[in-house]
Amino acid sequence: MGPLKGVKIIEVVGIGPGPFAGMMLADMGADVIAVDRPGNIGPTELKVDINRRGKKSIQLDLKSETGQKIFLDLCKNADALFEGYRPGVMERLNLGPDDISAVNQRLVYGRMTGWGQTGPLANTAGHDINYISLSGALHSIGPKDSPPEAPLNLVGDYGGGGMMLAFGLVCAILEAKNSGKGQVVDVSMVEGSSALMSIFYSLMASGQWAPMRGVNLLDGGAHFYGTFETADNKFVSLGAIEPQFMQIFIEKAGLDARWMQNHFNPAEWPKLKQELTEIFKSKTQQEWQDLLDGTDACFAPVLPFWEAHKHPHNLARNSFIEIDGVTQPAPAPKFSDTAPKTPSAPVKRGHDTNNIMQTLGYSNSDIEQFRNQGIIG
């Protein structure tokens, strides 16, 4: 089940955004085989890793010649593989794009790093916060009188990295079905997070964005677009950009009609925002929900992620699922005709090693020998 049913993808397991991309593809029905390193779980590995759901796993030593041969066998009938090592690592393992193309010309080769495969920073270490610094995304996030604030690691790792990788792989797989030839997909988190900023380039080019933080329409500068604390020390969000939506909020909150006079006057926004701050503190979060839920005031309570699954809207859409007692986001987006099935539980490292090896034509004695040699786990 799922729109990617029949697509086979090899994931060279790394951290964070790589497994996330693999999860997205597996959620959509792709047969994702995670290639893990042999050995014990490292200190950075999670006891419960939702990004490993819906996959198969083989433990394989890619530094050994036999491990490399088995990896090439895996790739012979695959549609794509992806990895997140520094440039040149896979080539040194004799598993670079040219090596893989020699056994499967139509395979798509995904490569995801922070800086990209080329450029003066390509071989240097970094993390999400560094990549979104270079793209310009981080500079625009946070209050105007404070340093920029990291938006977790969502913009670089997961939005600009993992999602871009999954998108790029599917694009290239579709192209390969027409041309019969795979290609390299070079995913840079700097460039991916830059692409996410396209609307702000448009706003600035249109004269609707000041080159500073915390004074603009969508960065917390506007009184009608932001978050506010409530009487019970919780928070709500207001996003009433359009005047007709702000008018609904004004009427529901019992405010004076003068509020609409300076709706798009940035000079008045700080004052109006301070007034709104006091107004929202006059009621609890639930009282604001009782007043505004179901209206066009562009309002929502700010929920902790561990409580989001309880909201009636999320419940009605089955936006969350439970697997082995762990509540987690359901596969997204939804499809009318090829709905993916509920994913299987996160795969343990090496769980499918024997079955995968047998599928590749290796005998039980081969498997036992390779395991004794540490080539497989």
Nearest to 151 by CA among 102, 186, 196: 196
Which member of 49, 73, 99, 127 is catalytic? 127
Inter-CA distances, 357 with 112, 221, 364, 374, Å: 27, 58, 9, 14
- Mark whether 157 is an active-site residue: yes
The token duo for 195 is 């692409």
Beta strands 235-239; 225-229: pairing state: antiparallel
Which member of 157, 219, 263, 351 is catalytic? 157
- Cα–Cα distance, 367 to 372 (Å, whole number): 9
- Cα–Cα distance, 336 to 172 (Å, whole number): 24
Q: Report whether 301 contacts 229 (CB < 8 A).
A: no
- Mark whether 337 is an active-site residue: no
End-to-end CA distance of the chain, in Å?
A: 30
Q: Write out the catalytic residue numbers.
A: 127, 157
